[in-house]
C-alpha cells in the first residue's frame, strides 16, 4: 500500500479530491493531512472524510524537527502540496528526496515564485494579456516553483476572461489531472 501525506493551507478542495480519488483504490491511501492554518477549511473536510489531520506552527515546521518526525512516523511514499503556501524546509526535502510534489496554477516557469499563488497568478496572467495558462505539477526543491516539471496541461485565456474565470478553469484542470498524475507517479515506482 502506497502512502500519501497532503499539506494544505486553505479550503482543501484539492486535498478532498485526492482523498476521494484514492479511497476508491486499494493500492494507495491518503494517511494524513497537515496544515499550517489552524482555521483552514481542510480540517473540516478531513473530519468529515475521517482522515487524520493536524495543524502546526512555523516553529514546528522550520525551527524544530516536529513536522519532520510526524512525516517519518507516517512513512509517506509521496508528500503532496495542495494549496500549501509556505516554502518547504530543506531538512524535510533532504529526508524525502524526490518525494515532495506541488500543483501550481500556471505554466511554469512563468508566474512562479514567492507570492505567486491563487488569484495573484490569475490576475498577473490577465494583466499581461496571456493567451494560454494551465497547471504545472512539479517536484519541490529549496526554491519556490523551481523543481523539475512532472506534468503540464494548458487552457486558453479568452479576451473576455476575468481572473475569477481563470481560477475556475484552473480548478477544473487540477481536479481532473492531479489525482491521475499522482497515481501514475506512485504506481510507476512499484
pTM for the whole structure:
0.95
pLDDT at 188: 83
Which domain, by its residues, includes 184?
Answer: 2-188
Closest CA to 3 of 73, 53, 61, 94: 73
Task: Give 49-95 pLDDT, tens digit per residue.
Answer: 999 999 999 999 999 999 999 999 999 999 999 999 999 999 999 99
Contacts of 128 (CB under 8 A, 6+ apart): none
Alpha helices in 26-162 (DSSP H): 41-49, 58, 66-74, 90-95, 118-127
Inform me whether the pLDDT recorded for 190 exceeds 80.
no
Domain count, the chain: 1
Checking if the pLDDT of 189 tops 90, the result is no
Output the domain CATH number for residue 92.
3.40.50.170
What is the model's pLDDT at position 127? 97
* Residues taking part in catalysis: 104
pLDDT digits over 21-39, tens only? 999 999 999 999 999 999 9
Scanning the chain, the segments in alpha helix (DSSP H) are: 13-23, 41-49, 58, 66-74, 90-95, 118-127, 163-188
Amino acid at each position: 500500500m502506497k502512502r500519501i501525506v497532503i499539506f494544505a493551507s486553505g479550503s482543501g478542495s484539492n486535498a478532498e479530491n485526492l482523498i476521494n480519488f484514492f479511497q476508491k483504490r486499494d493500492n494507495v491511501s491518503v494517511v494524513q493531512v497537515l496544515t499550517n492554518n489552524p482555521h483552514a477549511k481542510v480540517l473540516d473536510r478531513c473530519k468529515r472524510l475521517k482522515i487524520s489531520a493536524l495543524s502546526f506552527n512555523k516553529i514546528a515546521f522550520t525551527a524544530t524537527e516536529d513536522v519532520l518526525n510526524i512525516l517519518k512516523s507516517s512513512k509517506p511514499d509521496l508528500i503532496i502540496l495542495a494549496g500549501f503556501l509556505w516554502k518547504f524546509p530543506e531538512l524535510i526535502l533532504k529526508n524525502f528526496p524526490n518525494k515532495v510534489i506541488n500543483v501550481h496554477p500556471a505554466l511554469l516557469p512563468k508566474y512562479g515564485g514567492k507570492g505567486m499563488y491563487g488569484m495573484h497568478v490569475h490576475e498577473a496572467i490577465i494583466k499581461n494579456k496571456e493567451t494560454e495558462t494551465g497547471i504545472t505539477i512539479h517536484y519541490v526543491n529549496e526554491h519556490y516553483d523551481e523543481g523539475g516539471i512532472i506534468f503540464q496541461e494548458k487552457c486558453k485565456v479568452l479576451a473576455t476572461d476575468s481572473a475569477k474565470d481563470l481560477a475556475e478553469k484552473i480548478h477544473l484542470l487540477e481536479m481532473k489531472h492531479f489525482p491521475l498524475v499522482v497515481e501514475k507517479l506512485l504506481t510507476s515506482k512499484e
